[in-house]
Amino acid sequence: MNLNGSSDSPISDGDLSLEVRWIIPGVLAPDMVEWFGPPSGGIETRRDYYLVSATGPDVGIKIRGGCQLDIKLYGGSPNPLTVLGQSQGRLGWWRKWSFPHLRADAEIEPAGWTSVKKVRRVRYFSLDGRPVLGKADATVRGGCAVELTDVIVERRSWWTLGFEATGPAEALTDELNAAVAVMFDHPLPRGVRLDAPLSRSYSEWLVSNSESHLAHH
């Protein structure tokens, strides 16, 4: 298994990551949670707000849990990821900048923003794919975070599986490969397919949903 990615990214500054994500409609099944395994830091429930109306799929702007502003820029994609010759996903380079944000009323959705409720499970892996307990071990020293999350947007249920490798640019491809190898060492539950059309970032998915919603009104 090889991601065949290059560590050269066309954008600079900020925190660099190499990511792949699938977003699937429907409720997250218990057997998928069992496949994922125990999260490193328990289960987190939070509400994020994404700016959709004034951005495109290559820009992600969100208020994380009401206390942090994240800005992400897409920096291109190496070759697609193929897992065990079956699952396919689109890899992407991203740069992220984070800033403190004053907590707002979680029940009030800012104009132009989309509310996304999440129940997140995250596992962290070291540079060589060994499980580690803390986020800092994977982000400061380099490694990969693997996330399985229930998502609710406009009262509709979705779930997402994502891999995010961070650390030294030259190591990101190997980091992601190592985590993918560990996670897909056992097969996905019956009926679960991770196909290329389902592989997209939150930004691309929300923009697509917004355009689809407008087209029906």
Its sign, for the CA torsion 55, 59, 60, 61, is negative
The structural domain count of the chain equals: 1
CATH number of the domain to which 83 belongs? 2.40.320
Inside any domain, residue 2: no
Inside any domain, residue 1: no
The per-residue pLDDT for 101 is 80
The verdict on pTM exceeding 0.85 is: yes
Separation of first and last alpha carbons in the chain: 45
Strands (E), 26-132: 43-51, 59-64, 68-74, 81-83, 87-89, 92-100, 113-126, 131-132
The per-residue pLDDT for 86 is 81
The per-residue pLDDT for 139 is 58
The per-residue pLDDT for 135 is 65
Mean pLDDT per block of 10 residues along the chain (217 residues) reads 44 83 97 95 91 84 89 90 88 94 61 90 90 66 91 96 92 93 93 94 87 45
Inside any domain, residue 211: yes
What is the rounded CA–CA span in Å between residue 87 and residue 1? 12
The per-residue pLDDT for 7 is 42
Inside any domain, residue 6: no
Q: Which domain holds residue 125?
A: 15-215
What is the rounded CA–CA span in Å between residue 160 and residue 139? 21
